């Protein structure tokens, strides 16, 4: 079960349901950028997005939290991209400018 109500972040990677582009499920909107599966090895901190003060502050996380955040960031990105691909294949046939990237 993936919990979509939380915010997930590691390093500069961030997912928040209210931060998803409003036009994500349109023919023209690009897919989300895949999160590298090894980010838990690269980062031991998270950077909360604005309006967090001070901007760019690195908040430390444990290795266990880093693994959990990595799993959720990867799983949510993959699930949303899969849903977007399905939408585009079924609703955007013949639409000029459909973006599968």
- Give the range of the structural domain holding residue 13, as residue numbers without chain letter: 8-91
In a domain, residue 51? The reply is: yes
Q: Is the pTM of this model over 0.85?
A: yes
The verdict on residue 101 lying in a domain is: no
Q: Is the pLDDT of residue 97 over 70?
A: yes
Q: How many domains does the chain have?
A: 1
Choose among 7, 8, 4, 5: nearest CA to 71: 8
Decide if 27 is inside a domain.
yes
pLDDT on residue 43: 97
Band of the pLDDT at 1, cuts 50, 70, 90?
A: low
* 76 located within any domain: yes
Whether 50 is in a domain gets the answer yes
Kind plus residue range of the DSSP H or E element containing 84: helix 63-91
**Is 3 part of any domain?**
no
Q: Is the pLDDT of residue 31 over 90?
A: yes
Residue 100 placed within a domain = no
Q: CA 49, 50, 51, 57 torsion: positive or negative?
A: positive
Percentage of residues in the chain having pLDDT higher than 70? 98
What local confidence, expressed as pLDDT, does residue 98 receive?
79
Yes or no: say if 62 and 9 are a contact pair by the CB < 8 Å rule.
no
């Amino acid at each position: 079960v993936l919990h979509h109500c939380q915010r997930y972040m590691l390093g500069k990677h961030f997912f928040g349901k209210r931060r998803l582009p409003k036009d994500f499920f349109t023919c023209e909107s690009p897919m989300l950028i895949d999160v590298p599966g090894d980010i838990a090895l690269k980062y031991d901190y998270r950077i909360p997005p604005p309006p967090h003060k001070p901007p760019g502050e690195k908040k430390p996380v444990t290795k266990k939290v880093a693994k959990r955040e990595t799993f959720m960031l990867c799983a949510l990105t993959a699930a949303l991209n899969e849903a977007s691909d399905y939408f585009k294949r079924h609703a955007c046939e013949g639409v000029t400018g459909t973006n599968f990237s």
